[in-house]
Structure 1
Amino acid sequence: MNHLIDKGIEPPLALTISRKLLESGLYEPDITKLQTGEKLYKVVPRNSGPPGKNSPYFMTKDMLDHLPEDPSEAGSFLGLPQIPDSFDVYEIAAKTDVEVFQSEIAPFSVNGGEFTRLGGGIQTLVINRDQFSAARLLGE
């Protein structure tokens, strides 16, 4: 929560955001240090544009390399509420040494249990996107 307050977010909103981030993981996130230039990745629905500048959910290269090829399986592994037919991959790079948070993605259900997402992947939570480059589409 202090990372959000340090970013200038009011304490009540920082608490709400912190709870949401904690609930997305199976356990309390571990702090991980990235070095300048280290990269993180995010999948988004194909042709939907880059991730929003406040989007905190990313993954490491190792996680990206181990995603199932089937979009439905990948979406469930990543705990995505909606799963597209295909993905674009974006990359961000640390502009400075920075702390991020990692945890296992928690399982959950959508539409009152109509659809289940298994989770199980490792998410990397980026609290301050200002410490990273703009998202760059891979494969162009």
Structure 2
Amino acid sequence: MQRPGGQSQFSAPLEVRPPRTPALRSVVDLVAAQPQLPHTAGSLAAHIGVSPRHLARMFTAELDTTPAKFVEQIRLEHAKALLDSGRGVAEAARAAGFGSSETMRRIFVARLGVSPSGYRARFATARGGDRGGTAAESR
């Protein structure tokens, strides 16, 4: 996935090289396909039949990150895509798997330096204007 015309590339799939091992690829695919599920190290490890510690070693060796940071990054990318498409902040937080819009806001500010509503406003012009959302959703 790439944006045209020299726009900044904001896509997790561009940043993550595919895992070599089929087991880890299965975990990565699961998280990418369903970021809203409650992905814990234990549940992801059970998905491929390894211990959470071994899963963490696999992530570190192949992706240079932890399972939790990977899940957070995928959720962030999913939320950004939802906001880009005009969804409200609260709806994007739910659909991306964040526990609350406040959790999503903290991650946006920490990772991107902007709140979800600020991000949404910044990209509204690329969509041809903001499609709405209530003031409560924009927090």
TM-score, normalised on structure 1?
0.29
User: Relative contact order, CA 8 A, sep 6+: which one is greater?
Assistant: 1
Bigger radius of gyration among the two:
2
Q: Which structure: greater strand fraction? A: 1
Q: Which structure: greater helix fraction? A: 2
